[in-house]
Amino acid sequence: MLKIASKLPHVGTTIFTVMSQMANEYQAINLSQGYPDFNAPQPLLDLMQKYLNAGMNQYPPMTGVAYLRQQIAAKVDKLYSCTVDSETEITVTSGATEALFVAIQATIEADDEVIVFDPVYDSYEPAIQLAGGRTIHIPLDDKFNINWNLVRAAVTSRTRMIIVNSPHNPSGSTLKAEDLDQLEALTEDSDILVLSDEVYEHMVFNSLAHESILRRPKLRERAFVVSSFGKTYHATGWKVAYCVAPVALSAEFRKVHQYVTFTTHTPTQWALAEYMENYPEHYLELPAFYQAKRDLFVEEMKDSRFKLTPSQGTYFQLADYSQISDKSDVDFTHWLTQEIGVAAIPISVFYDKPTPSQHVRFCFAKDDATIRAACKILREL
């Protein structure tokens, strides 16, 4: 018998795949996994066709198509007043998942400690484990904000990285300027790196600014900042993202990136670059676009027995179902998908320590008709 020692013995199939498969099997309206049920903008699809037909189909540069890196640098400058060298500080990756994995493999060594916040996006810990590091889980408070006293208490001489995610999946909370002040004070004069997962950077509501790490020169000099075109351009299946990091960190990042994927689908990069240049309104209008969907979802759920605190960012909305059922959130989402016909994501699976939850996460990146149809069913519970 072939003996295989698993390097990730506790890892199963991600909850997103499990719930999407269940939604398909039971023909439920899928508000679980985070992707739109509408298409990417037509001019972007046309540009993709243009570059496919123009023969942009061979390997692009390992760091990404220069035109795209220049557009990213221009956007970062415009939005966050941050000057980034597109040659040495931006790397295009095959999804944010790749960028997060690569940043961790490039910098975390055996027994290094990496601080994460629960509920935590599920790709971080396996990457830390594969690098030989230790994940230190700190729970967010009951409003899904960071308790900085807990962070200060958790920092040791082995702390190598802190991973932040704002806007936050699954809760929809956002980091505020005061949080960045705290992070800055905590990491100053240390060798602690920051990995900032900002894939929902263009989905921050109520006219609030996205508090990117790139706004803070002191944090930027120790940070990998990751964003995802899949989220921004309604094309999650394209798996194109990028990482901004200072020269020395980018150099280490690229050493790993070149042996993980080497590079990313060429015509997509060209299409995204031209679209960014010609249609900046797309990302400028995205907060309002998704806020309208959030507001529709919250309004449609007003007369339901779910309790909602409107999401501050992302395209997710948490809902407390304690008035409807005392099932665990995992059982509740299974029941909801299989018997009621709406799929959602349980929250407890994003915690290291068993944390009973009566919250589920709904994705509102859906056509208004889909949102209305789902809410009509949910209102009857």
- Shortest distance, CB of residue 376 to ligand PLP, whole angstroms? 27
**For residues 82 and 80, what is the distance between their CA atoms, to the nearest angstrom?**
5
Whole-angstrom Cα distance, residue 330 to residue 366?
Answer: 23
Rounded CA gap, 51 and 234, in Å?
19
Instruction: Indicate the pairing of strand 90-93 with strand 241-244.
Output: antiparallel
Please report the DSSP string for 289-321 in residue order: HHHHHHHHHHHHTTTSS-B----SBSSEEEEE-
Q: Which is nearer to ligand PLP, 116 or 340 (CB)?
A: 116
Smallest separation (angstroms) from ligand PLP to the CB of 239: 6
Task: Give the shortest CB-3-to-ligand PLP separation in angstroms.
Answer: 33
Judged by beta carbon, residue 101 or residue 300, the one nearer ligand PLP is: 101
Residues between 163 and 182 that touch ligand PLP (CB under 6 A): 165, 169
Counting contacts by CB under 6 A, is residue 365 touching ligand PLP? Answer: no
Report the candidate in 62, 59, 25, 50 with the shortest Cα–Cα distance to residue 253: 62
Residues 254-273 that bind ligand PLP (CB under 6 A): none
Stretch that binds ligand PLP, among 43-51, 95-103, 294-302, 330-338 (CB under 6 A): 95-103
The pair phi, psi for residue 377, each rounded to 5°, is: -70, -45
Interstrand relation of 193-197 and 223-228 (parallel, antiparallel or unpaired): parallel
Q: How far is the CB of 32 from ligand PLP (least distance, A)?
A: 11
Q: Which stretch binds ligand PLP (CB under 6 A): 94-102, 277-285, 342-350, 356-364?
A: 94-102
Nearer to ligand PLP by C-beta: 32 or 228? 228
Q: Which of 30, 32, 91, 97 binds ligand PLP (CB under 6 A)?
A: 97
- Cα distance between residue 377 and residue 327, in whole Å: 19
Of 36, 60, 64, 95, the one binding ligand PLP by CB under 6 A = 95
CB of 119 to ligand PLP, least distance (A): 11
How many residues bind ligand PLP, per CB under 6 A? 14
Question: Please, are residues 163 and 191 in contact by the beta-carbon 8 Å criterion?
Answer: no
230 near ligand PLP (CB under 6 A): yes
Tokens 């509102």 locate to 364
The stretch among 42-50, 105-113, 228-236, 303-311 that binds ligand PLP (CB under 6 A) is: 228-236
Spatial distance between the Cα atoms of 46 and 214, rounded to a whole number of angstroms:
32
Residue 187 CA to residue 171 CA, distance in Å, equals: 25
**Which window, 109-117, 206-214, 233-241, 301-309, contacts ligand PLP (CB under 6 A)?**
233-241
Which residue number has the CB closest to ligand PLP?
95
Q: Among 20, 236, 263, 348, which residue interacts with ligand PLP (rule: CB under 6 A)?
A: 236
Contacting range for ligand PLP; rule: CB under 6 A; set: 49-57, 90-98, 283-291, 360-368: 90-98
The answer to whether the beta carbons of residues 371 and 364 sit under 8 Å apart is yes
Residues within window 287-326 making contact with ligand PLP, judged by CB under 6 A: none
Q: Is 121 in the site for ligand PLP (CB under 6 A)?
A: yes
Within the chain, strands assigned E span 29-30, 90-93, 113-118, 134-139, 159-165, 193-197, 223-228, 241-244, 316-320, 342-343, 345-346, 359-363
Q: What residue ranges bind ligand PLP (CB under 6 A)?
A: 34, 95-97, 121, 165, 169, 197, 199, 228, 230, 236, 239, 241
